[in-house]
Amino acid sequence: LAKTTQPISMDSYEGQEVNITCSHNNIATNDYITWYQQFPSQGPRFIIQGYKTKVTNEVASLFIPADRKSSTLSLPRVSLSDTAVYYCLVGEANTGFQKLVFGTGTRLLVSP
């Protein structure tokens, strides 16, 4: 079964780069890795998705090594508003990837 492992929490300061790593040793060959951000009492919000190597969008970068057993979400120059919980997701191949399982999440606290 696909399962992800993330650090429980991380602390940072405004303006720093933050890297959050997710371990997914049992990722299926065809599965994508997706990261979400969640603020308290709100639904999760999509950040980025990738399959291999590097993906970059206007808010983050996602680094995936060749073996795809882990991935790293990189947030450049964080601000106070980036304080949130960050989840990585992979699907489960035996459900046609319909079963999208959230990891434990990483609580990021950004301080002034």
Partner 1 sequence: DTEVTQTPKHLVMGMTNKKSLKCEQHMGHRAMYWYKQKAKKPPELMFVYSYEKLSINESVPSRFSPECPNSSLLNLHLHALQPEDSALYLCASSQSPGRGELFFGEGSRLTVL
**Site for partner 1 (CB under 8 A): which residue of 1, 29, 43, 81?**
43
Bridge partners for 35 per DSSP: 48, 88
Query: Whose Cβ is closer to partner 1: residue 63's or residue 92's?
Result: 92
Q: Specify the stretch interacting with partner 1 by CB under 8 A; choose among 10-18, 29-37, 50-58, 75-83.
A: 29-37
Alpha carbon of residue 104 to chain centroid:
11
CA proximity to 112, closest of 82, 80, 75, 84: 80
Q: Which residues bind partner 1 (CB under 8 A)?
A: 32, 34, 36, 41-46, 49, 87, 91, 95-105
